[in-house]
Each structure stands twice: as structure tokens, then as C-alpha cells.
């Protein structure tokens, strides 16, 4: 039976199962503001970068936690620090470059200087000039540091938290996520480059997208036609104990083209007539002993760690507002990649990122939802594929991990904020 026939035969009676998410959470500024406080500045760990982006003492990188500008630094003793990029004096950006190397951080406005941990170490004219001016006698430098976030690393991924009470990062991630991070970050990496895309939609639509194995073969023709990912593949959709995070993985070697053709029927994305002139794009290497060829590890709230064929990347979400976010892709390989492997990764990068033959389509998927729900105060989505509960699945015909995300969101933000 083809997918369409199955859909037609589905019982259309209202179901008590399933998850309904009010569309206002994607459009109403109140929810956005509450997310900044309760999620990004709340009891969560946000991804801020790779250790490999700041390998040397003095290296820094400007980035964001939610919408808040932060700086990731590596101190002279090798330790990593994340501080809010805002001078303790009058609030100016202390670091105005995307990345670089410095012995200390100095605000250009009045030259207040901070060490790489964010401690205030210099205030010009602190004792005045010629006996005039100067800071008050009880001015205590140690009370005017940059806001310092808790900073922890797991497998070379750097996370930061505003919360003093949240559990350790490892515990926040849980064993499944830690295991998957360590699987990909199994040896020293080398950064291949960044890609940035601005998507005109709410960041949570992308959180749904990356927890959604249902769409991947129906939206993305490359996945389905070339068997990179199909819902018929051997794979699983798993969550951590708190169901915040989602692991989708699949094994392309489990493809059965004839049976899969049956399953997908006349689906647009299973197109046996579609051929490539240059198949070198899809020539890769089996580089993991477990034969897994696709991993989408969606880590609450702002990270995806991915392996698609031989492409390895982290995707970081930076929020701009209720209807706009940036996705920062940092591609990497391993330091011991030979020349051929380096070439494979650079060529397969054509599959992902804003120009990716697969990934470009997720931007459009987000935007067509955002465009359709404008101004909607009460209507909801309906999420029920796979049973309509936040449950793990040993198959890829499920939306369970999306519901896990919303269960956590309901707890941290809520679906029913009072109108301002």
C-alpha cells in the first residue's frame, strides 16, 4: 500500500491522543521574552562553540545564548570561560569582533579592561587626575566583573549556563546524548568553516524540524531518492530521560529499493527518474563501525550535532525575535583525515547548510508555517504520528520527540501566558 492510500484509509474521527501546540507560541512576543528568561537564561545549558574554535590561549569567539551576546575565551591556563559581552560600566559591547586572539578584553568606550575570565582588571582615571574626579573611595573592582556563566565541555563541545542551580552539563544532557557526542567527537577535530543562514520563522519550528523523522523523506527528495534517509530504514528515535533532547539515527545499508518504492508509491520524493550526472557527490566512506549513516542529535535548547553521510557539523540557533532566527553551521572533520577524506567532506557539504541540496528545504519548511499562522490566537497544530505521546520509537514513523520538546516547553514557559 502506498503512503497516500494509507493516509486516506486513516480513521478521521477526532482523537484524544496527540499533542496540540497553540500557534501563538510562535508569534507572540510574550512567549519569546519568557523563553529568554526561563530557557536561555534559565535552568538549561546552551551550546556556545567548539573547543577547536578557540585552540590557543587568548583565543576568543563572539556568540550568543538565545539573544544575549556572549564571549567564549580560552585563558592562559587553557581553561574556557563564557562571559556576557557587556561592559560592567555602561553596557557597551566589550568584544566587537567575531573571533580573534587577545591577552585581555578591553571596552573601547572608556577602556575598562577585563582578564579572559571576565574579571575587571583596569579602570582608567580610577583615582582621578590631578586630584580631581575618580571613582568613589569604596569602589570595589571585584564587584564589577563581566557576568560570568558556568562553562562546561563535553567531548569538545562547549556549553554555558546562566543558572547557578542547574545540574551539571553532563547530567543535563543525559547518557544518550553524551554517548552520541563522544561517538562523533571521538578524536581531535579540525574546523572546516562556518555557514550562517537567517530564517524568517520562530526558532521552535526548527526545534520541531530536527526532532521529526517523519518529514525527512517526504520533504527531502535527495534523502529519499538516493536512499540517504528513508523512514523505511533501520533506525530509532530516542530521547533522554527528561525527553528534552532527541536522537534520530538511521542506517542506509538497510535500504531495499524495491520494497521502499512500494512503500513510497507515487511520492514526489521517491523519483527513480531523477539522476545525477556526477555521482561523486554521494561517494563517501563508511567511517563508523556501527554503520550508522545519519545522526541528528537535537540538544535542548539550541544545538544540533549531525552526521549525514560524511558531513559532520554543529548547528547553533541564535534567536532574533519571535519570527526570526539565525542558524550557524560549523562544519568539521578530523585532524587525521587524509586528502581524499578532506575532499569528500568539502564536496558532501553541498548536501547541508543554506545551499545544501537537502538542508536548504528546512528553511522553507519553517517559513511556510510562520507565514500561515500569522495573527492566530487560538488554533493549534496536531502532532500524533507514532501514537501521539513523548515515547521512544524503534522506527522512524514518529513525532514522539517533538512532543517531548513541547512537554518540556510547557513546563518551562507554558502555553497559556496571560495577555500583557
- Contacts with another protein by CB under 8 A lie at 98, 191-200, 219, 221-222, 225, 271, 274, 276-278, 280-281, 326, 331, 346-347, 349-350, 353-355, 357, 360-361, 363-365, 367
Residue 271 beta carbon to another protein: minimum distance, rounded to whole angstroms: 7
> Would you say 109 or 274 has its CB closer to another protein?
274
Closest separation in Å from C-beta 373 to another protein: 17
Q: Smallest distance from the beta carbon of 134 to another protein, in angstroms?
A: 43
Q: 270 to each of 25, 221, 262, how far by Cα in Å?
A: 34, 7, 10
In the complex with another protein, the residue whose CB is nearer, 253 or 355, is: 355
Cβ 276 to another protein, closest distance in Å?
5
- Tell how far CA 154 is from the center of its chain: 15
Min. distance of Cβ 104 from another protein in angstroms?
23
Q: Which residue, 22 or 353, has its beta carbon nearer to another protein?
A: 353
Residue 389 DSSP label: S
Strands 157-161 vs 148-154: parallel, antiparallel or unpaired: antiparallel
Going from the C-alpha of 237 to that of each of 19, 295, 296, the distances in angstroms are 17, 10, 10
Largest CA distance in the chain: 89
Shortest reach from residue 283's CB to another protein, in Å: 12
> What phi, psi does 59 have (nearest 5°)?
-65, 140
Residue 282 vs 384, nearer CB to another protein: 282
Report whether 42 contacts 163 (CB < 8 A).
yes
* 205 phi/psi in degrees, rounded to 5: -65, -30
| CA dist 121 → 80, 104, 115 (Å) | 18, 9, 6
Of the pair 243, 331, the CB lying nearest another protein is at 331
The 8-class DSSP code of residue 66 comes to: T
Contact 366/373 with Cβ under 8 angstroms?
Answer: no
Closest separation in Å from C-beta 119 to another protein: 30
Cβ distance to another protein smaller for residue 83 or 219:
219
Q: 134 or 193, CB closer to another protein?
A: 193
> Measuring CA to CA, how many Å separate 260 from each of 35, 212, 218, 266, 273?
41, 19, 13, 11, 15
What are the DSSP E strand ranges found in 119-206?
120-122, 148-154, 157-161, 189-199
Q: Which is nearer to another protein, 157 or 221 (CB)?
A: 221
Beta bridge partners of 334: 189
- Minimum distance from residue 133 beta carbon to another protein (Å): 42
Beta carbon of residue 274, minimum distance to another protein (angstroms, whole number): 6
**Residue pair 419/46 in contact by the 8 Å Cβ criterion:** no
Cα 3 to Cα 265: distance, rounded to the nearest angstrom: 6
Is residue 28 within 8 A of residue 415, CB to CB? The reply is no
| Cβ proximity to another protein, 66 vs 363, nearer residue | 363
C-beta closer to another protein: residue 235 or 353: 353
Give me the least distance between CB of 364 and another protein, in Å please. Answer: 5
**Residue 337 CB partners (closer than 8 Å, separation 6+):** 190, 345
DSSP codes joined into one string, 4-42: HHHHHHS--S--S-SB--BGGGGT-HHHHHHHIIIIITT
Amino acid at each position: 500500500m502506498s503512503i497516500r492510500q494509507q493516509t486516506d484509509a486513516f480513521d478521521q474521527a477526532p482523537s484524544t491522543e496527540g499533542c496540540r501546540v497553540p500557534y501563538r507560541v510562535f508569534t507572540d512576543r510574550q512567549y519569546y521574552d519568557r523563553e529568554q528568561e526561563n530557557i536561555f537564561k534559565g535552568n538549561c545549558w546552551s551550546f556556545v562553540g567548539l573547543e577547536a574554535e578557540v585552540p590557543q590561549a587568548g583565543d576568543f569567539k563572539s556568540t550568543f545564548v538565545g539573544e544575549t551576546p556572549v564571549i567564549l575565551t580560552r585563558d592562559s591556563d587553557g581553561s574556557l570561560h563564557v562571559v556576557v559581552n557587556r561592559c560592567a560600566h555602561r553596557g557597551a559591547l566589550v568584544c566587537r569582533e567575531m573571533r580573534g586572539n587577545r591577552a585581555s578584553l578591553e571596552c573601547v568606550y572608556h577602556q575598562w579592561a577585563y582578564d579572559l575570565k571576565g574579571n575587571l582588571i583596569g579602570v582608567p582615571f580610577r583615582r582621578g587626575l590631578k586630584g580631581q574626579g575618580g571613582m568613589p573611595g569604596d569602589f570595589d573592582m571585584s564587584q564589577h566583573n563581566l557576568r560570568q556563566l558556568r562553562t562546561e565541555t563535553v567531548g569538545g563541545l562547549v556549553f554555558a549556563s546562566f543558572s547557578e542551580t542547574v545540574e551539571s552539563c553532563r547530567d543535563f544532557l543525559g547518557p544518550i546524548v553524551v554517548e552520541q557526542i563522544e561517538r562523533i567527537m571521538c578524536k581531535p577535530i579540525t574546523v572546516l568553516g562556518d555557514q550562517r543562514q537567517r530564517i524568517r520563522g520562530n526558532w521552535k519550528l526548527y526545534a520541531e524540524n530536527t526532532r521529526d523523522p517523519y518529514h525527512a523523506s517526504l520533504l527531502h527528495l535527495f534523502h529519499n531518492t538516493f536512499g540517504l534517509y528513508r523512514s523505511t530504514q533501520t533506525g530509532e528515535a530516542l530521547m533522554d530521560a527528561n525527553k528534552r533532547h532527541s536522537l534520530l539515527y538511521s542506517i542506509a545499508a538497510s535500504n531495499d529499493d524495491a520494497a521502499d518504492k512500494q512503500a513510497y508509491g507515487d511520492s514526489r520524493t521517491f523519483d527513480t527518474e531523477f539522476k545525477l550526472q556526477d555521482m561523486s557527490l554521494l561517494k563517501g566512506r563508511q567511517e563508523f563501525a556501527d554503520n550508522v549513516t545519519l545522526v541528528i542529535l537535537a540538544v535542548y535548547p539550541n544545538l544540533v550535532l549531525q552526521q549525514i553521510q560524511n558531513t559532520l557539523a554543529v548547528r547553533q540557533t541564535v534567536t532574533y525575535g519571535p519570527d526570526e532566527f539565525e542558524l550557524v553551521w560549523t562544519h568539521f572533520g578530523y585532524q587525521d583525515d587524509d586528502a581524499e577524506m578532506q575532499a569528500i567532506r568539502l564536496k558532501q557539504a553541498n548536501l547541508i547548510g543554506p545551499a545544501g541540496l537537502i538542508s536548504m528545504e528546512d528553511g522553507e519548511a519553517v517559513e511556510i508555517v510562520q507565514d500561515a499562522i500569522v495573527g492566530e490566537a487560538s488554533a493549534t497544530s496536531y502532532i500524533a504520528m507514532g501514537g501521539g505521546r513523548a515515547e521512544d520509537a524503534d522506527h522512524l514513523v514518529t513525532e514522539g520527540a517533538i512532543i517531548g520538546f513541547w512537554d518540556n516547553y510547557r513546563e518551562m514557559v507554558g502555553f497559556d501566558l496571560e495577555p500583557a
